[in-house]
Amino acid sequence: MGKFVTMAEQLIELNVTGMHCNNCALSIHKLLEKKGFHHIFVDFASEEVKFSTVDESVVPDVIKNIEGLGFKVVEDININNEHFYEKVENKFIFSLIFTIPLLLHMVLPWHFLHNPIVQLILCLPVFTLGCLHFGKSAFNSIKGGVPNMDVLIFVGSSSAFIYSLIGTFQNLGPDYLFYETCATIITLVLLGNVLEKRSVSQTTSAVKDLVKIQQVKATRLLNGETEVISARDVRPGDILLVNQGDKVPVDGDVLSGDASIDESMLTGESIPVEKTKYDQVIGGTIVQRGNIRMIATKVGSNTILAQIIELMKRAQSAKPPVQKLGDRVAAIFVPAVIGISLLTFVITYWVFSIGFQHSLMNAIAVLVISCPCAMGLATPTAVMVGLGRAAKNGILIKGGDTIEAIANTKYVVFDKTGTLTTGKFKIRQIKAETDDIEKVRGLILSIEERSNHPIAQSLVKELKSLPLKKVILKSVSEEKGLGMRAEDIDGNHYFLGSGLKSGTSKPGTDDFNLFLYRNQQLLAQISIDDEIKPDAKELIAKLKKMDIIPVLLSGDRHSKCIQVAQAIGIDEVHAENLPEQKLMVIDIYKQKGKTVMIGDGINDAPALTQADVGVSMNDASQVAIQSARVILLNTDLHSVVKFLQISKHTLITIKQNLFWAFAYNIVAIPLAAIGMLNPMLGAFAMAFSDVVVIGNSLRLKKKNIFN
């Protein structure tokens, strides 16, 4: 059991055993929904239940209610092994052993198999198992006010058994014996549960693969000696040795050595990255060549990999709006089907007078062929596969609802610096109003090294290689979209930023980007160049081909923005915008159509939040990453198109699944009601309707969607 704090609400996480299929998950989901909880996520494959609440004290009552439905809440899923008799696979095998002889009596001339008592003895273990498995779940779901699919299975199998039992003891003959129908319904539904559990576990494989990456050994250096420990036991500050072929155990910084590291599991980029002293390394990545000595900086749940896993798990809890239709139908499905079944019996028996036996079989067929499972599985399975495929391509999507929010995108709004451009700046010229150029350089360095902005980081890196005199500053602060303010120990006040925004620029300074002021007097002008990313032009062309209008929205000078826009093919440009002005621009575009914003700086954070979907680059500021709903771990701009394509095809898959789920029930129930499908065939069809939906979702794993 665990909990995570998200603003005013607590996200509660429970480990629940005893869930064998999506019916179980739906029962718990409906229970939590009834109690008014939000962000509900129930996954029977991983045995996880999550929901958010402002009042943490309700958790014991929730646990009691879940256990009242017949499930069990445990502390640690890894140490809670299912008993042999609790596994749905073993229940299916047990049922199958007794069901096969019951079915054989219809094709083999063995007289003892036709004996009603023998059939009763063969059916009784299966029916008892069905009562324990489906009956218990059905009773608890009715008691909790959320009747589930198991009610239909239990009523259908019980009707066939009781009808056959009366026929046996009143010696009414073989026409009244339907023990094989009862046993076959239970066995086939159990088979469906087995297939469903195995198939759904494949849809969560992306998270499982990432969890496996975490389970590595680390070589720790302690007092000159090395010891091999689990990555879980590494603490911040530990010195670790990582050799060729090893996985980096945790996040850290290189102290010595150099290596080529494969970061494809994180970024989707197959080309290894060269790492040397002071470079950052990420836990789970693989050293392809060389070896390093590193210091651990982030361990356990603080590592990038752990945060990605948690992000993906939470993403599954956000339901797309398209799922709400399925949920509404599923909520009234069971009572409606029982009503249709009773109506089928009444009409066929009293109106059409086809006999009690056939009327009963038609009614039972309606019960067992009906399947809300497929509706319940339609969205979550597609979302899980879509999120997994995106993650393997270096795209982190923070919620399943983001996939639908991206549909029919009309505008993609780009920030310029660090998004369409490399964010690596070169100083073309520093024009100082004083003769002491080294002091000016030192002042710029002292101010900019306190900022995380890409421009500042590039300036610092370049200035460090030039002759300079460092200046001691008493305070430095950053103003979103404006620049940096500072004060030195002598009480002088400095401003370093865009002169246009400060209202103090001089005429004829179009060649300069940044201006340094001391006590409101111009001290220096800085001209810097930023390189356009090589794939930016191709990305814009692809977006236009997809009927998406690209827009440039930047705080940079108008002349620089126009230069970049013309080079890559963007027609709509908004330059020299402060953060609050960016919000207004995003609002205007949102009124005209679905708008996606892609940015990376602190000044982009409000706009990322305001857009229909905010997309942040991996090397962005932490504020931008937290504000965005999508994070591109690979700075390759093709990730933008990949994200749009994955979202589009995931939504197509969801709609296909929902169509199949609804169409199946619309066609199957009337066929069963008029007697064209017997209960056994109905149980078989019901079991495989889930498998069809899951199979369609799994296609998304291999489907070619990037052409």
Q: Where are the alpha helices (DSSP H) in 170-303?
A: 179-203, 205-214, 264-267
Whether 651 contacts 697, CB under 8 Å: no
Inform me whether the pLDDT recorded for 570 exceeds 80.
yes
Residue 3 binned pLDDT confidence (cut-offs 50, 70, 90): very low
Tell me what pLDDT residue 175 has.
64
Tell me what pLDDT residue 6 has.
45
For residue 425, list its beta bridge partners: 530
CA 111 to chain centre: 57
Inform me whether the pLDDT recorded for 506 exceeds 50.
no
Which tokens go with 147? 């009747």
Judge if pTM exceeds 0.75.
no
Where is mean pLDDT largest: 144-148, 161-165, 508-512, 526-530? 161-165
Lowest-confidence range among 23-37, 307-321, 328-342? Answer: 307-321
Inform me whether the pLDDT recorded for 2 exceeds 70.
no
Average pLDDT of the segment spanning 652-663: 84
Inform me whether the pLDDT recorded for 699 exceeds 90.
no
Per the annotation, the verdict on 415 as an active-site residue is yes
What are the tens digits of pLDDT across the range 420-437?
Answer: 887 677 787 888 888 788
Inform me whether the pLDDT recorded for 375 exceeds 90.
no
User: 22-42 burial by CB neighbour count: b if 16+ within 10 A, else e?
Assistant: bbbbbbbbbbbeeeebebbbb
Whether 615 contacts 646, CB under 8 Å: no
Average pLDDT of the segment spanning 473-486: 82
Tell me what pLDDT residue 534 has.
85
Residue 97 binned pLDDT confidence (cut-offs 50, 70, 90): very high
Tell me what pLDDT residue 549 has.
94
Cα distances from 355 to residues 52, 181, 345, 359, 529, in angstroms, run 53, 18, 10, 6, 88
Tell me what pLDDT residue 269 has.
52
Give the separation between CA 201 and CA 199, rounded to whole angstroms.
5
Which tokens go with 198? 């195995």
Query: Of the candidates 19, 682, 628, which has an alpha carbon nearest to the alpha carbon of residue 341?
Result: 682
Tell me what pLDDT residue 560 has.
79
- Give all domains of the chain, ordered by start, each with its CATH number: 2-82 (3.30.70.100), 85-205+319-384+651-702 (no CATH), 216-303 (2.70.150.10), 392-420+532-645 (3.40.50.1000), 422-530 (3.40.1110.10)
Inform me whether the pLDDT recorded for 312 exceeds 50.
yes
Which tokens go with 301? 């749940």
Helix, strand or coil for residue 553? strand
Residue 294 binned pLDDT confidence (cut-offs 50, 70, 90): very high
Residue 295 binned pLDDT confidence (cut-offs 50, 70, 90): very high
Tell me what pLDDT residue 508 has.
45
What are the tens digits of pLDDT across the range 516-527?
Answer: 999 988 888 888
Inform me whether the pLDDT recorded for 499 exceeds 60.
no
Average pLDDT of the segment spanning 689-706: 80
Give the separation between CA 88 and CA 20, rounded to whole angstroms.
7
What are the tens digits of pLDDT across the range 241-263?
Answer: 999 888 899 999 999 998 888 87
Length of the chain: 707
Main-chain phi, psi angles of 410, to 5 degrees: -105, -35
Q: What is the DSSP string of 357-397?
A: HHHHHHHHHHHHH--SHHHHHHHHHHHHHHHHHHHHTTEEE
Give the separation between CA 153 and CA 277, rounded to whole angstroms.
64
Inform me whether the pLDDT recorded for 507 exceeds 80.
no
What are the tens digits of pLDDT across the range 376-388?
Answer: 667 777 877 888 8
Give the separation between CA 370 and CA 94, rounded to whole angstroms.
25
DSSP state of 48: E
Tell me what pLDDT residue 254 has.
93
Give the separation between CA 173 and CA 60, rounded to whole angstroms.
54
Rounded mean pLDDT of the chain?
79
Lowest-confidence range among 143-147, 221-225, 365-369, 489-493? Answer: 143-147
For residue 636, list its beta bridge partners: none
Tell me what pLDDT residue 292 has.
92
Active-site pick, 251, 415, 604, 612: 415
Determine which helix (DSSP H) or strand (DSSP E) holds 239, and give its type and residue range: strand 239-242
Give the separation between CA 526 and CA 56, rounded to whole angstroms.
54
Inform me whether the pLDDT recorded for 239 exceeds 90.
yes
Tell me what pLDDT residue 592 has.
92
Average pLDDT of the segment spanning 607-634: 72
Tell me what pLDDT residue 30 has.
79
Where is mean pLDDT largest: 408-412, 477-481, 629-633? 408-412
Residue 5 binned pLDDT confidence (cut-offs 50, 70, 90): very low
Tell me what pLDDT residue 603 has.
60
In the block, which residue shows the tokens 């209202």?
503
For residue 87, list its beta bridge partners: none
Residue 104 binned pLDDT confidence (cut-offs 50, 70, 90): confident
Average pLDDT of the segment spanning 283-296: 89
Residue 326 binned pLDDT confidence (cut-offs 50, 70, 90): low
